[in-house]
Chain A
Amino acid sequence: MIPAEFKYLVPSTVDEAVRMLAEEGEDAKVLAGGQSLVPVLRMRLAAPTALIDIGGLTELTGVRDEGDSLLIGAMTTHYEVQRDHLVQDHALLLKLVTDTVADPQVRHRGTFGGSLCHADPAGDLLAPALALDAVMIIAGPGGRREVPAADFFVDYFTTALAPDEILVDVRVPKHTGWSAHYEKLNRVAQAWSIVAVAAAVQVRDGTITAARIGLTNVGSGPVRAADVESALVGQPATAESISSAAVRASSGDGYKDNLARVLTGRALTAAVTG
C-alpha cells in the first residue's frame, strides 16, 4: 500500500494554507487527521499531487463559547469533542455520536472537520451536524463565507467546498438541556453504520417542544427527518406519540426504509426516557 508520489506542504497559518491550495491547483488536497485520506491514498483511489497538512494549525482546534452557539475548530479531534464540557452541556448529541466513531486510535487522529469534509454518507457526524443546524465557516482566496449544513453536503463524498477552500470552524447552535441519543446499527465494531439516527429532543413538562433528527446512510448524504420532527412538536413525550411520528422517517418498503423508521423510534425513545 504505497501512495503515488506527492508534494508535502506544511502551512503555518490558515491564510498560508489557502494560498498553497490555490498555488498547487485542483489536484492538491488538505490533510487533516488522515484517517480517511491516507487509506484512500495508499490504495491509490486518489493521487493528489500535493498534500497541505493543516495538522499544525492550532487556530483550528478547540471549542469556543460564542453565546448562542459553540464554535468548534475543524481540526478538533474526535477525542477532544468527546471530552469537551461545552459540547457535553450544549450539544450533547454531538458527543454521543462521536462516542460511536471508530476506535480510540482513530478518534485520537481523526477530526470533526475532516469527517464533515470527507462527506461519506456512512460517516456518523454528518447527520448530527445537519440535525443541529450547524454552519460551516469556510476560508478561501476571497475571504470567509458561511454555509449551512443543509447546503454543505452535496452528494456522495462531495461538499460545497471549492478546491481552494478550507473548512475552518463549525458553528453549532446551543441545544442546552436537550436530551439526545444516537441509535446506530452496524454489524461489527469497526464497520460503518448501515443506518443510524441522531435525535435531539427538547421536552418541557412532559411535552415535546422541539426535535431535531438526522439520518445516517440512507441517501447520498445525511437526511433530515423533518416530517418526524414536526409531527412530534406539541405532542406528549410518550411511546404512542413517538411511534406514530417515527413511521414518517421513511415511506419505502426496503430494508433501510424499515431501519430508518425503527431506529428513529428507538432513538427518540432513548432520548426521551434516557
Chain B
Amino acid sequence: MTATAEPEIGKARLRKEDTRLITGQTRWTDNLQLTGMLHMAVLRSPVAHARITNVDVSRATAMPGVALVLTGEDLAAEQGSLPCAWPITEDMKAPAAPALAVDRVNFAGEAVALVIADSAYHAADALSEIDVDYDELPVVLDLEEAVRDNDLVHEDLGTNKSATWVYDSAEAGSGTDVEDEIASAEVVVERTFRQQRLIPAFMEPRSVVVDPAAGMFTVWSATQIPHILRWMLSAVTGIAEHKIRVIAPDVGGGFGGKLQVTPEELLCLLVARRMGRPVKWTETRTESMLSAHHGRDQLQKITLAARRDGTVTGLKVELLADMGAYLRLVTPGVPILGAFMFNAIYKFAAYRFVCTNVFTNKVPTDAYRGAGRPEATFAIERMMDELAVELGMDPMKVRELNWIKHEEFPFTTVAGLTYDSGNYEAATARAMELFDYDGLREEQARRRADGSPFQIGIGISTFTEMCGLAPSRVLGALRYGAGGWETASIRMLPTGKVEVITGTSPHGQGHETVWSQIVADKLGVPFEDVEVLHGDTATSHKGMDSYGSRSLAVGGTALVHAADKVLAKAKTLAAHMMECDETDVEFASGAFSVRGTSTSRSLGDVVLAAHVAHDLPEGMEPGLDADATFDPDNFSYPHGTHLCATEVDTETGLVKIIRYVAVDDVGTVMNPLIVDGQVHGGLAQGIAQALYEEATHDEMGTLTSATLADYLVPSAADLPSFITDRTTTPATSNPLGAKGVGEAGTIASTPAVVNSVLDAVRHLGVRDIEMPMSPERVWTALQGRGDPGSGDVAAGGLGSIDAQGGQE
C-alpha cells in the first residue's frame, strides 16, 4: 500500500461524478419510466389575486387519455397546508398554504387544477379545456405599499405584515445603543437599497415521480433535501414516515431553489395514493419561473454612524422583506440569516436590526444562494463606500481602519457571533497585488482627465459570511424547526472496498470526489476504492441535506469522526491479530504495525478478519462499520477580498468587467479545483444580480420575465476571466479546518461590481443605480433622470408571455 505517497486532501482531482453527468450516463428524475405510470400537468392561475368562483372540468375530463382531473376543492380535505419550518416569532402570521388553490389564488402561477393522463401530451392538451372563473381582487405588489395595509393579500390575517424580528445590541448586551451612537455621531450616512427579486434558475427543472407500489410510497424528486422532504411529507399527509422513501437521484443544480417542500411533490403523492399508480410531474422552464420559489427581494434602509476619522460606531438596519404570497419552508428565516452579518468584518459599537416580513401577491420567496447574507454583505459594503465618499477617504482605507485585526481572533461581534479565525489583512494584501490597485487608480485618473466616454471604476468587497449551518442549539434559539447536525457512515466491505453514506445531498457540487479524498487519506485506501452513497432515505436514513455551505464543514466532519471510529476498532482487532498490546500498534499507509518490528497487517486483512469474525477479541461485534453524527459548536466564517474593475460606456450605459480578483479564505482546501469551480459559479451568480438578472412583473402581477429570453442568466461568454487565489486560515471549529465555499462568491461579488460601476460614474453626478445595472439604467442615471425601471429587455420574439399561455 502506498496510499500516503501523496495526500489526497488538497489534490486538484477531477470530479469522479462528472463523466456520468456530462455524458448522460445517469438517470435524472424525469428519465424514470415506470410501468403504468400516469402524468400530471398543472393548471396555473393567470391572475395574481382573485376569488375562484367556479371551476368546470367537464370538458377536460372527456379529453383523450385523461384519467382524472382534480381541483383544490377535490383535495381540500386531504392536502393540509404546506409546511413552514421557521416561525421566526411567536406571533408570526402565517396563512394556510394549500398545494392546490381552493377558493382563491394569491399569485400568478399558483396551482389551481390538475390533469392526470396516460401521457404528458394528453395531460398538457387537457389543461386548456379546464374553465376557471376568477373574481379579481386588488393586487399587492410593492413592499412599501403593502405595509400600509390598504389592500390585503390575505384578508383573514388583517394585515400584510407577517412578523417583525429585532436584534438590538443594547438589549442583547453585545454593544451600545445605536440611537445614542447616531445622535452623537460626527457623520451619519443614510441610504436605501433595493435587492431585486431573483429566480434561482437551476439547470435541471424540478421533477417528481411517486410510486405507490409494495405498500410504500417511493418518491423520486429533483430536490436538495430528501430527508427533510420525507419528514415533511409525512407530517402534512399523515402517511407514516417509515412508509415513505425519498430518493434524490443525480440532481442538476439547486442554489437553494430546491431547498423546498413543493406543492407538486405533495400533489404527486396525493394523486399516487388516490390512483394506486405511479405518477410523474416535470415542469417546464416557464412553469419553474412562475411557481418555484424566488429569492432576495428586500428594501433596505441603512443608517451608519461614524467619526470624521473614518471610525464606524453604529449601524441601524431597517428591512422590508418580501415573502411573496405564502410562507414556504424557510421563507421567514431567510432575511434573519442576514441579521448577524450586516456588521460584517467591522467593529461597530452599536447595532440594531429590524426586519418586517411582508406579504405580496407574488411567488413566495425562499432560500437562494447565500440566503440573507448576500443582502447583508451588499448593504454594508455599499455603505463603506458611501462613507468613504462622504469623508473623501480611500474606500480600502476606511475598511482597514474598521476591520477586526488578525490578532484579535476569536472575536465576538456586536451581533453576538464569535468569529473563530480570519486574516483580512492577508487576503486584502494578496488581492491588491493581483489586481494592481494603484495602476488601475492611475488609469482611472487618466480617463477622468481625458473625459473619455469609457470611464473605469474600482469596487471593493471585503466580505465575510456565516455558514456551515448550523449549531442545533442556535437554530433552536432562532425558533427553527430542525437541527443542524450532519451524519456519515462508513461500511467496510469484505474485499476492502469502502462505501460511504452521507446525510448531505449533493446536487452538482462534487461531494463524491471530496468525500472519497477524505476517506482515502484517513483510511489509507485508494481513492477509487471509495463509493459515496447519498440522497436515498433507504440507504442514508438520516441527514439534514445540503444548503448553507454546510456539507463539508458539518458533513465532512461527521465523516472524519466515522473514519476515526473505524480505525479505533480496527486497531483493537489488529493488536489482537498481531498478539501485541494495542498501545504498540501504529497505523500508517493503510497498515497496522507493531512499533519497532516488521509485523504488520493491512487494513484489508483486518477488515476481512472483522467480517468473517472467526477470531475476534472477547465482546467485539463482527464488522468494522461505523456511524457518526456531528453537531457543530459554531458557524464557520469564510472571508475574502474581492476587487472588481469595470469599464462603463457612458454613451450607451453598458458595463463591462475588465478585471475581477477574488482572494478567498475558505479555510483548509480539500480540492482546489472544486473550490475554484464553486468560486467561479458563485461569482457568476453574484455578478448576475449586479448586472443582469431581475424577476419583473406588470402592474397586474404577471411575471414578465418568465423565459430565459427575458430573464438574463449570463454565460461564460459574458464574464471576464476571473483571477482567483486563496489565503488559508483554518477554521478552528472542525477538524478539517474547512469553512465552506458554496456561497462565498455570490455573497462577495454583487457589491464589488456595483461599487465599481458607481466609482466609475460618481464624478459625473451619479449617486446610485438600482440593480440590475442595465445599460438603460446606467445611461438614464448619467442623464440625471430617475430610474427607468426594468425597461425593454428585447425578448427576441418570445415576448413576455402570460402565465396561462406559457405553461406548457
- Which A positions have Cβ atoms within 8 angstroms of B? 1-5, 36, 39-40, 42-45, 118, 120, 122-123, 157, 185-194, 217, 255-256, 258-259, 262-263
Known A43-B798, A185-B652, A187-B774: A255·B715 in contact at CB below 8 Å: no
Interface range on chain B (Cβ under 8 Å from partner) = 35 or more
Question: Closest residue of chain B to A42, judged by CB?
Answer: B808
Answer yes or no: B75 CB below 8 A from chain A CBs: no
- Once the chains are docked, how many angstroms separate the CA of A191 from the CA of B795? 7
Q: Say whether B615 faces chain A, with CB atoms less than 8 Å apart.
A: no
CA A186 – CA B718 in complex, angstroms?
10
Name the residue of chain A whose CB is nearest to the CB of B802.
A45
B interface residues, Cβ below 8 angstroms from A: 120-121, 124-125, 128, 284-286, 651-654, 691-692, 707-709, 712-715, 717-718, 774-776, 779-780, 788, 791-799, 801, 805-806, 808
Among the interface residues A43, A118, A120, A123, which one has the most CB atoms of the partner chain B within 10 A?
A43
Q: Do residues B285 and A1 form an inter-chain contact, with CB atoms below 8 A? A: yes
Q: Are B797 and A122 in contact (CB under 8 A)?
A: yes
Let me know if A43 and B801 touch, CB within 8 A.
Answer: yes
Contact A43 B796 (CB under 8 A): no
Q: Can you name 11 A-B pairs with beta carbons within 8 Å?
A: A2-B120, A2-B808, A42-B284, A118-B797, A120-B796, A186-B794, A188-B692, A188-B718, A192-B794, A255-B788, A255-B791
Q: Chain A nearest CB: distance from B322 CB in Å?
A: 24
10 pairs of A and B residues whose beta carbons are closest in the complex: A192-B796, A189-B717, A120-B797, A2-B124, A192-B794, A1-B284, A262-B651, A188-B718, A122-B794, A44-B808
Shortest C-beta distance, A2 to chain B (Å), equals 4
Chain B contacts of A44 at CB under 8 A? 128, 805-806, 808
**When the two chains form their complex, are residues A190 and B715 in contact, meaning their CB atoms are under 8 A apart?**
yes
**Complex interface: chain A residues within 8 A of B791 (CB):** 255
Min Cβ gap B114→A in Å is 16
Residues of B within 8 A of A255 (CB): 653, 776, 779-780, 788, 791
Our pick among B652, B708, B717 for the contact of A262 (Cβ within 8 Å) is: B652
- Whether the Cβ atoms of A191 and B715 lie closer than 8 Å is no
By the criterion CB–CB under 8 Å, are B801 and A45 in contact? yes
User: Do most interface residues of chain B lie in helix, strand or loop, or is the interface mixed?
Assistant: loop
Nearest-CB distance from B390 to chain A (Å)? 31
Question: Given contacts A187-B712, A187-B793, A262-B652, could you give 19 more A-B pairs where the C-beta distance is less than 8 Å?
Answer: A2-B124, A43-B707, A43-B798, A43-B808, A118-B797, A122-B796, A122-B797, A185-B654, A188-B715, A188-B718, A191-B712, A192-B794, A192-B796, A194-B794, A255-B788, A255-B791, A258-B652, A258-B779, A259-B652
Most buried by A among B125, B652, B801: B652
The reply to whether A1 and B808 form a contact with Cβ atoms under 8 Å apart is yes
B714 touches A188 (CB 8 A): yes
Main secondary structure of the interface of A (DSSP, over half): loop
The residue of chain A having its C-beta at the shortest distance from the C-beta of B710 within the complex is: A191
Question: Residue of B at shortest CB range from A37?
Answer: B797
Looking at A118, A120, A191, which has the most chain B CB atoms within 10 Å of its CB? Answer: A191
A191 and B125 in contact (CB under 8 A), knowing A39-B798, A43-B801, A45-B805? no
* B691 / chain A contacts, CB cutoff of 8 Å: 187
B794 touching A43, Cβ below 8 Å: no
How far is it, in angstroms, between the C-alpha of A263 and the C-alpha of B714 when the chains are bound?
23
A44 to B127, CA, bound (A): 12
| Residues in B neighbouring A192, C-beta threshold 8 A | 709, 794-797
Q: Which residue of B lies closest to A44 (CB)?
A: B808
In the complex, A42→B654 CA distance in Å?
33
**A188-B285 in contact (CB<8A):** no
Query: Which of A3, A40, A190, A256 contacts B797 (CB under 8 A)?
Result: A40
Q: Say how far B196's CB is from chain A's closest CB, in angstroms.
A: 15
Complex: chain B residue closest to A261, CB-CB:
B651
Docked CA distance A189–B719 (Å):
10
- Provide the bound-state CA to CA distance between A39 and B709, in Å: 11
Q: How far is the CA of A40 from the CA of B806 in the complex (A)?
A: 9
B349 to chain A, nearest CB (A): 43
CB neighbours (8 Å) of B805 from chain A are: 43-45
- Closest residue of chain A to B119 (Cβ to Cβ) is A2
B120 touching A193 by the CB < 8 A rule? no
Whole-angstrom distance from the CB of B74 to the nearest CB of chain A? Answer: 24
Known: A43-B801, A43-B808. A188 touches B713 (CB 8 A): yes
**Residue pair B715, A193 in contact (C-beta under 8 Å):** no
Question: Could you say which residues of chain A place their CB within 8 Å of the CB of B808?
Answer: 1-3, 42-44
A217-B775 Cα distance, complex, nearest whole Å: 15
Bound Cα distance from A189 to B792, whole angstroms: 16
CA distance A45 to B284 in the complex (A): 14
Closest to A46 in B: B805
- In the bound complex, residues from chain A placing their C-beta under 8 Å from that of B798 are 39-40, 43, 45
Q: How far is the CA of A2 from the CA of B285 in the complex (A)?
A: 12
| Contact of B712 with A188 in the complex, beta carbons under 8 Å | yes
Q: Which residue of A lies closest to B651 (CB)?
A: A262
Min CB distance A157 to B, Å, is: 7
**Interface residue from B121, B286, B713, B717 paired with A43 (Cβ < 8 Å):** B286
CA gap between A62 and B284 in the complex, in Å: 36
Residues of B within 8 A of A43 (CB): 286, 707, 798, 801, 805-806, 808
Contact A185 B775 (CB under 8 A): yes
Separation of A194 and B776 alpha carbons in the complex (Å):
10
Q: What residues on A are CB-neighbors of B708 within 8 Å?
A: 190
Q: Say which residue of A118, A123, A189 sits within 8 Å of B718 (CB atoms).
A: A189
Residues of B within 8 Å of A157, CB to CB, are: 797
The CA-CA distance from A123 to B792 in the complex, in Å, is 15
Does A191 contact B779, Cβ atoms closer than 8 Å? no
B residues near A36, Cβ cutoff 8 Å: 797
Q: Are A191 and B652 in contact (CB under 8 A)?
A: no
Assess whether B712 is in contact with A4, with CB atoms less than 8 Å apart: no
Shortest distance between the CB of A106 and any CB in chain B (Å): 11
A262 CB contacts on chain B under 8 angstroms? 651-652
Across-interface contacts of A5 in B (CB, < 8 A): 121, 125
Which of A45, A185, A190, A191 sits near B793, CB closer than 8 Å?
Answer: A191
Closest beta carbon of chain B to A1's beta carbon, Å: 4
| Chain A residues with CB under 8 A of B780 | 255
Cα–Cα distance between A2 and B691 once the two chains are bound (Å): 32
Q: Output the least CB separation between A49 and chain B (Å).
A: 14
CB neighbours of B806 from chain A (8 A): 43-45
Q: Closest A-chain residue to B287, C-beta based?
A: A1
Q: How many angstroms between the C-alpha atoms of A108 and B712 in the bound complex?
A: 23
* Chain B residues with CB under 8 A of A188: 692, 712-715, 717-718
Q: Are A263 and B652 in contact (CB under 8 A)?
A: yes
Q: Give Cα distance in the complex from A36 to B796, angstroms.
A: 9
- CB nearest to B796 among chain A residues: A192
- With both chains docked as a complex, state the minimum distance between the C-beta of B284 and any C-beta of chain A, in angstroms: 4
- Scoring A1, A185, A186, A189 by chain B CB atoms within 10 A of each residue's CB, the highest score goes to A1
Contacting pair B692 A187 (CB below 8 A): yes
- B801 surroundings in chain A (CB, below 8 A): 43, 45
Inside 8 A of B286's CB, which chain A residues have their CB? Answer: 1, 43
Q: Which residue in chain B gives the minimum CB-CB distance to A216? A: B794
Which chain A residues border B775 with CB–CB below 8 Å? 185, 187, 194
Q: When chains A and B are docked, how far (Å) is the Cα of A91 from the Cα of B707?
A: 34
Min CB distance, A250 to chain B, in Å? 14
Q: Please name the residue on chain B nearest to A190 by beta carbon.
A: B715
* B776 adjacent to A123 (CB under 8 Å): no
- What residue in chain B is nearest A253 (Cβ atoms)? B783
Residues of B within 8 A of A259 (CB): 652
Instruction: Report B790 CB to chain A, min CB distance, Å.
Output: 12
Residues of A within 8 A of B692 (CB): 187-188
A242 vs chain B, min Cβ distance (A): 14
Known: A1-B284, A43-B286, A44-B808. A191 touches B794 (CB 8 A): yes
Closest partner residue, chain B, to A256 (CB atom): B792
Instruction: Give the CA-CA distance A39 to B691 in the complex, in Å.
Output: 26
Docked pose: A184 CA to B526 CA in angstroms: 53
Q: How far is the CA of A53 from the CA of B169 in the complex (A)?
A: 70
Q: How far is the CA of A39 from the CA of B707 in the complex (A)?
A: 11
List A contacts of B717 (CB < 8 A).
188-189
A101 to chain B, nearest CB (A): 11
Q: In the assembly, what is the distance between CA of A19 and CA of B607, in Å? A: 77
Q: Which residues of A contact B284 (CB under 8 A)?
A: 1, 42
